[in-house]
Every structure is written in structure tokens, then in C-alpha cells.
Amino acid sequence: MELNDRQIRRLEDGREYRGMKMAAKASDDAEEMVVEGYATTFDQSYILFDGNDYRVFEKIAPTAFSECDMSDVIMQYDHGGRVFARNKNGTLALTVDTVGLKVSANLGGTDIGRQLYQEIEGGYTDKMSFGFVVAEDKRESVFDRESGLEIITRTIIKISKLYDVSAVSTPANDMTSISARRFADGVIGEIKAERLERASKIKKLKLMLEV
């Protein structure tokens, strides 16, 4: 897939993207058009990448946002650059609770925001994505003999910067696929090395038993 300049810059600065559902929230104030959702939930594994030889799962630890810079976060649509809400002007609220990162945005301040609210209310758009940079993570790898796959679990322990939350048109966008492949490709070498080491140990054990 060919990338545009904006997508390439996002890959180079280490941003990653994930998606969750969102929904419109009823309000007594006609001027307020509020949407809510969780940008992520804690300790729930999801498939990040599914390959021929390995499967990568990911989960977000409850500590992920403890030191995260959320001083200037915007809400967009499909990460397209248009700002629909912003925490600096009070139209976007971000709350870390026991479930995850909760997002609440008032889209009633602009014409395009009100249009997006209608799309969310009508169920035409019901997913969220968010852009962030990982400060610390850990990986665990287990070989599943039944499937013949290396099962890798990545736990994001700390996120250093949250850039944006975004309503998206599809549950999995191109940026998500790209960043997942980028991460998974980075550990292929480690997987191969572990398999070679395991094969070497098995071979040595067989030789010892034959003596």
C-alpha cells in the first residue's frame, strides 16, 4: 500500500493507533452534542497482528497513562486534521478510570461537529481510534505446539504522549494495520533466534539420550 507524506511522518515519530467503539449521549441542553466512548480498556488482550508463523496479542496496563502527557489532545475524524473538540478549550474531557481511558466530547460548537454527532447518533460512525507514543512495554513469547505458532503478548506499560482521539469510518483503518505490521516485523528476528535455540537444545538432549 502506498503511503502519503502525513502517514509516513506518523510512522517515523513512533505513533501507534488503536480503535474502540463510541456512541452519542443524550443531553438536556440543546446546545450540547456529547459523544462518549473508551479509547482503550485495561488488561483486555486483542489481536495486534496475525501472521503465518506468529500471532501478536496486545493489552494496555492500568499504569499506561500514569505519566502520560495529555496536555493538548484533539478529537478528529479519521485522523484527518480537522479539530472537532479539544481539551484545552474544555470541549474534550479525558478520564482514566478502572475500566480504561474514557473520552467525552461536546461536538455542538461547530457545523462539522454537529454533523459528526448526527452520524454517530445514527450509528453510521461508531468506532474510535487514538494516536499515542509508547514509553515502556514488555513482550512475552510462548510457542504453541498445537497451532505451530509463536504466541507473543505485548503489554503497554507506559504511554508517554497522547496526541489525539478520532472518530473513524471503519473498525480497523490503514494506519492501525501499518503500525501493527511495523511492530511485528521488528520481533521476527527474535522469534527466529528463539526457535533456533530451542531446536539446538532438543538436538543436544537427543544426543545425550542416545549415549
Mean model confidence pLDDT for the chain: 76
Indicate the angle between helix axes 5-12 and 174-186, nearest 10 degrees: 40
Specify the pLDDT at position 25: 60
Specify the pLDDT at position 172: 37
Q: How confident is the model at residue 199 (pLDDT cuts 50, 70, 90)?
A: low
- Residue 128 scores a pLDDT above 90: no
Specify the pLDDT at position 31: 59
- In sequence order, which residues have a C-beta less than 8 Å from that of residue 133 and are 6 or more positions away? 13, 14, 15, 16, 159, 160, 161, 163
The type of residue at 63 is: T
Q: How confident is the model at residue 192 (pLDDT cuts 50, 70, 90)?
A: low
Which pTM was predicted?
A: 0.69
- Residue 185 scores a pLDDT above 60: no
Contact 54, 191 (CB under 8 A): yes
| CA 39 remoteness from chain centre | 8
- Residue 194 scores a pLDDT above 90: no
All three cell numbers of 124, joined, read: 453510521
- How many structural domains are present in the chain? 1
What is the domain range of residue 86?
Answer: 5-210
Specify the pLDDT at position 100: 86
Specify the pLDDT at position 171: 46
Specify the pLDDT at position 173: 30
What is d(CA 121, CA 85) in angstroms, rounded to the nearest whole number? 17
DSSP H or E segment with residue 102: strand 100-106
Highest mean pLDDT among 26-35, 100-109, 173-182: 100-109
pLDDT tens digits for range 18-72: 666 555 564 545 457 888 887 788 888 888 788 888 888 888 899 999 999 999 9
- For the chain, the 3-state helix, strand and coil shares in percent, each to the nearest 5, are 25, 40, 30
- Residue 90 scores a pLDDT above 60: yes
- Lowest-confidence range among 5-19, 86-100, 124-138, 147-161? 5-19
Specify the pLDDT at position 10: 46
Q: What is the mean pLDDT of residues 138-149?
A: 89
Q: Output 18 or 103, whichever has higher pLDDT.
A: 103
- Residue 186 scores a pLDDT above 60: no
- Residue 183 scores a pLDDT above 80: no
